[in-house]
Structures are given as C-alpha cells and as structure tokens.
C-alpha cells in the first residue's frame, strides 16, 4: 500500500482551504514543515520535515518518519534511540503547506537528541538591546553519549 | 533600540545547543520558522516565518511581527483584522533554526485568516490507499469577507 496525495495545483483556492482533498504543498525542496505535539498535554516536542515518501510511510505505518535534511535520508524517529513516535492525529493548515502531528512519545519520552522531552528547552530573554538564552529546566531523560556515542 | 543577534557561524556545536548565546540560524532566504502557541492552553495557533528585522521588531515591541513570504513584506499580525498577538514567551530549539512563540491572541481570538482560532482546523483521514481531510469543527470567530473584503 502506498498512500498518494492530490496535486495542490489542480485545486482552486477555496477547495485548498476549505475542501476535503488532502493536497500537501511541498516546498521547492519537496518538503513540508511538521510540528510534533505530545498527545494529551499539547506540549510541543519538535519541529522537523517530511517529503512525500516519509509522509506516506508515516500514514501507512502510524509511526513518525521524517526526512533528515542534514543526512538527506529517511529518518525513522527513534530508530537509534528507541524513542519511536506513535501517530495519534495528523492535521494540516489552511493553505496545506504545514502539518501538526500529535504523537505518543515512546521510550524514555525524549523527542530531542539532547535527551530532553522537547527541543525547545531555552527561552529568549532581552535586556536593553541584548538578547540571551535561559534554560527552562527541562531534565535530560537520557545521556546522548550513551545513546549516540561520543 | 534595535536588538541584534549573534552569528551562529561563530559558535561551536556545544555552545549553539547548550549555551546562553541567542544565535538564530536563518535559512538561505533569511527566514526562521515560528510556531505560535496560545498562552495557557498550549493550543497551536499558526506557523509562520520571521526574518532578522521582524524578530527584532517582535522582541522590541512585544507584539508579533512576521515576514510575509507571499507579500514579501513585514506582516504585523492583526494590523488589518485587529487580531494582534502579545508575546508572552519566545523559545528556541536545540540547533536554533526554529522558534516557539507563546502569545495572548487579542481581538476575537482568531489567529487564522479564515476566521478560526487556529490554522489547523482539518485532520487527515486515511482509508486504504486514499487520504482525505475532515473538519475538526473549529468555529469561525469572524467572517473573512467582513474583515478583508470580498
């Protein structure tokens, strides 16, 4: 089974925004931005990308598959670390160029490669014309060296 | 006052990911992806982009300013509709190429140009090899024709 999608160029604006046809608008690199949220809490875990192949794989298997821009390869999240993500719901936005994916984060509950639950563990603080980052205090649920090596 | 940011190329990997230096990694188009969440509920409202100028404007004014990729212009959210966004917190991710912005959504509470609270008002359903969209039932808080014209 391979799930295919409609071509957004074949849809008028109203159908793209209000219709029932799923026609993801991949960018010039063939990618969509995906925001991943934790089921139940709505906490944001990470932001990553999918191409048509990994979107199809995600829908077929119910397990999150992204496209790694740095490795230029299919990225089955958790394949190395064990932190697989089970898809609960996938939503698209008004102009279908972005997805929200609600997941159950398995393993130790760490979506971030630093071992934290979420990639968003620092907040921006400003003071006059200066900006700096402050840790929000998210604990590490694993030691990256133990999982990925030195 | 203009808030400036560090150049991420001047930081080593560990400082970029674990340090206190805010060094946003704008992409080849000079843009960062910004995920906007509602204060209190964590509901996702929208996903948009900022360049260095609108990020600086956002930090200086406390009001969300995006970069409109379609209009190629500064986009002070709510300037036309009245739905301004007051910034409560800004967070960056591990490799500093994405922001999460927590806001108080003013006006009628609609972040989406369709008049809904959130841009993510449709979920993807699959049935065998077919995919389609289903409305999640988010009500319209304004009529776009009344706000933006026909």
ipTM computed for the complex: 0.96
Q: Please answer yes or no on whether B1 and A129 come within 8 Å at the CB atom.
A: yes
Given a contact cutoff of 8 angstroms between Cβ atoms, the answer to whether B106 and B91 are in contact is no
Whether the CB of B63 is below 8 Å from some CB of chain A: the reply is no
| Residues B41, B43, B45, B49, CA torsion sign | positive
- Predicted confidence (pLDDT) per residue in A76-106, tens digit: 999 988 999 999 999 999 999 999 999 999 9
Task: Give domain status of residue B2, yes or no.
Answer: no
Average pLDDT over residues A31-46: 97
Residue keyed to tokens 């805010």: B22
pLDDT of A1 reads 63
Model pLDDT, residue B149: 84
Is A138 part of the contact surface with chain B (CB cutoff 8 Å)? no
* pLDDT at res. B1: 63
Number of domains in chain B: 1
Is pLDDT at A2 greater than 90 in this prediction? no
CB atoms near residue A18 (< 10 Å): 13
Residue span of the structural domain in which B38 resides: 8-12+25-148
B3 within a domain of the structure (yes/no): no
Domain membership of residue A9 (yes or no) is: no
3-class SS at B22?
coil
Residue A113 has pLDDT above 90, yes or no: yes
**What is the C-alpha end-to-end distance of chain A, expressed in Å?**
39
Phi, psi of B4 (to 5 degrees): -110, 170
CB B110 within 8 A of CB A129: no
pLDDT value of position B64: 98
Which backbone phi and psi does A122 adopt, to 5 degrees? -135, 140
Mean pLDDT, rounded, for A27-45: 96
Give tens-digit pLDDT for A115-127: 999 999 999 999 8
Whether A62 is covered by a domain: the verdict is: yes
Residue A69 forms contact with B (CB below 8 Å) = no
> CB of A89 within 8 Å of any CB in chain B?
yes
Which chain B residues are closer than 8 Å to A2 by Cβ?
A: 129
**Closest chain A residue to B17 measured between Cα atoms?**
A114
Which residues of B are less than 8 Å from A119 in CB distance? 93-94, 98
For residue A21, how many C-alpha atoms fall within 13 Å in the half-sphere facing its CB?
15
Q: Does A67 fall in a domain?
A: yes
Tell me if B98 is assigned to a ligand binding site: no
Whether B139 is in a domain gets the answer yes
Residue B150, pLDDT score = 62
- CATH code of A103's domain: 3.10.20.810
Distance in Å, alpha carbon of A67 to nearest chain B alpha carbon? 16
pLDDT at A4: 84
Q: Is residue A16 part of a domain?
A: no
Four-CA torsion A48, A52, A53, A56, nearest 10 degrees? 90
Q: Which of B35, B121, B128 sits opposite A44 (nearest CB)?
A: B35
In a mutational test of the A interface, the residue from B94, B121, B150 whose CB has the highest number of chain A CBs within 10 Å is B94
CB contact under 8 A, B20 and A132: yes
Residue A11 resides in a domain:
no
Inform me whether the pLDDT recorded for A150 exceeds 80: no
Q: Are B54 and B61 in contact (CB under 8 A)?
A: no
Q: Per the CB < 8 Å rule, is B100 touching A42?
A: no
Q: In this structure, what DSSP letter does residue A7 have? A: -
pLDDT tens track, chain B, 150 positions: 688 899 999 999 999 999 999 999 999 999 999 999 999 999 999 999 999 999 999 999 999 999 999 999 999 999 988 999 999 999 999 999 999 999 999 999 999 999 999 999 999 999 878 899 999 999 999 999 998 886
Contact: A134, B35; criterion CB under 8 Å: no
């Amino acid at each position: 089974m391979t799930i295919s999608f409609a071509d957004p160029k074949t849809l008028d604006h109203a159908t793209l925004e209000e219709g029932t046809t799923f026609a993801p608008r991949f960018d010039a690199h063939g990618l969509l931005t995906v925001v991943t949220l934790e089921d139940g809490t709505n906490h944001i875990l990470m932001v990553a990308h999918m191409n048509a192949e990994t979107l199809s794989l995600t829908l077929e298997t119910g397990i999150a598959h992204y496209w790694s821009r740095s490795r230029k390869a299919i990225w089955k999240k958790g394949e190395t670390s064990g932190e697989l993500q089970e898809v609960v719901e996938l939503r698209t936005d008004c102009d279908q160029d972005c997805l929200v994916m609600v997941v159950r984060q398995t393993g130790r509950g760490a979506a971030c490669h630093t071992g934290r639950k979420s990639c968003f563990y620092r907040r921006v603080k400003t003071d006059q014309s200066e900006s700096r980052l402050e840790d929000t205090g998210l604990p590490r649920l694993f030691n990256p060296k133990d999982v990925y090596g030195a």
